[in-house]
Structure 1
Amino acid sequence: MDSLDTRLLAELQRRADITAQELAEVLNLSPSQVARRRARLEAEGVIAGYRARLDPRHLGLTVQAFVQVQMAAHNADNAANFVRLMHTLPEVVACWTLTGEADYLLRVWVSDLPALNQLIHHRLLPHPAVARVQSQIVMDQPKADSGLPV
């Protein structure tokens, strides 16, 4: 990967819908050269996919929260069952396993506080693998989600 690839990746992270012509102008290459580089980076798995970034407010999602989950017991069955649950909850937009006191960190988007309460008290806490849940509600996001440093 060279500096042109790095610049190409940075531009795609900023604007995934950029055309080959626009990208060629930014990189000072021909559209066909840009297309070949982009195709190679896709084939190599460097570019894993493309997504549209949606504005949560326009979808009625006004509460973002981070939810820490501590497991009742640490075994493969509990972990597998919990991960299966995560895949059934559209409100959970990301899930990470952690070191430290919490075992999982969930990023959640819901319409309002009652919806967060519903998620925590009726979906997470009743799950047999879950011992404890702690949530933090996002007040503001001074830095928006950005791309990876390239």
Structure 2
Amino acid sequence: MPKPTLDAIDTRIIAALQADGRLSNHQLAERIGLSPSPCLRRVKRLEREGYIESYRAVLQRDRVGLGFTAFVTVKIEGHADLAADALQDAIVAMPEVVACHMVSGDSDYLLEVVVPDRESYQAFLVGKLLDLPIIKEVRSNIAIQPLKTAAPLPLGHLA
């Protein structure tokens, strides 16, 4: 993986925007010590080059009725075929799956599933996930209490 080519100002920009994506260009420029025009040019370049993927609001899950989170490991039969690709596409398309990682170890995928309650999770598990082909095994770990979610990425290595 190539090393990012970000200078100290770029790093300050992305750190500030991770902390508060609602900063105006003027506020951001003041915070990082640039005038507004070069600050905006840098932000646009960072967006164009894919360092900044998007901007969004981080919602409080309980407040919007999504109080049940499960971390689900999935083991599949076969890996290097079209069925595995179709399975990945199906999982990524499920709105209940807010994160999906291909992993090594005892399972093949780790999913973070967010739904309103236990009954909704059961309906998701039985009606959607277990209905997919080539799934060999599913194990669920139910979140008891979130301690850290949607945290900014650590950028210390860029300094």
TM-score (norm 2): 0.87
Give the one of 85, 88, 91 matched to 2:96.
91
1:50 paired with 2:17, answer: no
1:143 paired with 2:136, answer: no
Structure 2 unpaired stretches of 5+ = 1-5
User: 2:103 & 2:68 partners in 1: Cα distance?
Assistant: 23
> Residues 1-150 of structure 1 correspond to what in structure 2 (within 5 A)?
1-150=6-155
Secondary structure of 1:4 counterpart: helix
Deviation above 6 Å: which 4+ runs of structure 1? none
| Alignment RMSD (CA, Å) | 1.4
Percent identity reads 38
Q: CA deviation at 1:28?
A: 1.8
8 Å contact 1:72–1:128 — kept in the other structure? no
Q: CA deviation at 1:42?
A: 1.4
User: 1:6 & 1:88 partners in 2: Cα distance?
Assistant: 32
TM-score (norm 1): 0.92
The alignment covers a number of residue pairs equal to: 150
Letter in 1 for 2:99: A
